[in-house]
Amino acid sequence: MEAGFGYTNLYVKNFEKDVTEETLLEKFSVFGTITSLVISKDYNGISKGFGFVNYEKHEDAIKAKEAMHGAQLGSKVLYVARAQKKGERQLMLQLKYQGLNLYVKHINDGVDEEKLKEYFKQCGTVTSVRIMRTDKGISRGFGFVCFSMRHEALRAIQILNGVLFHGKPLYVAMAQTREERKRLFLSALRHPFTNVEGLQGPFNPTITPPYAAAYHNHSRLRRTKCSDDESIMMNKLDDRTFR
């Protein structure tokens, strides 16, 4: 039995950026009734070259997948597969990149993905680089570098952690899973004046007088609430914090 038995949602990628939702609708609607169709776009409204097509019936989704996977659309060949649920994607990525993906922070604002990749290539084959950005495309000063082999990632940590790069000392460590970041983040909430070792991300604020006392009183109440409702909070934390 195929994983995701009964699915209706398809993941479609590898099409040109000028392909519109109307074009996809025309191509995919011949297989059955489509309940929703969306193309993923960046902050400028430009297509990322992938999207999702959801059918009313499972049988129609199967027909579309079998017919359109590998089909030519413009100058590109489409990739069509069952759309995975978020938990499935996270687990697969975690298993795929375990020990290969590095968390890098203190990245100078003038450094882009190409410069970062070129710098880390001295340690091995870099398969992907991503600098996290705001909705306006401004660098947030941290990102991820993925290597093809675990020993290459370890070498990068040993060689590049603490090294000055464009005027800033890089912090390089193994990227944590979403669950690990949540656990450490909750620990930071309960102990706001403790620098939680290993916490990846801008979660440890520096509070100075005269605001420290007020922050401490507020934090005591917040820690009590967190302790009582930790399981609820784990479920409600904004997903964007832990991507």
Q: Which domains does the chain have, with CATH numbers?
A: 9-83 (3.30.70.330), 97-174 (3.30.70.330), 178-242 (no CATH)
Residue 124 confidence (pLDDT) = 96
User: Do the strands 34-41 and 171-174 form a parallel or antiparallel pair, or are they unpaired?
Assistant: unpaired
Tell me if 175 sits within 8 A of 199, measured CB to CB. no
Residues of the chain with confidence (pLDDT) below 70 = 1-5, 87-98, 178-181, 183-185, 191-243
Give the number of other Cβ atoms within 10 Å of residue 100's Cβ: 19
Q: Residue 139 has what pLDDT?
A: 95
Per-residue pLDDT of 162-196, as tens digits, reads: 999 999 999 999 987 766 667 666 777 776 655 54
pTM of the model as a whole? 0.43
Please, are residues 43 and 135 in contact by the beta-carbon 8 Å criterion?
yes
- Tell me what pLDDT residue 2 has: 46
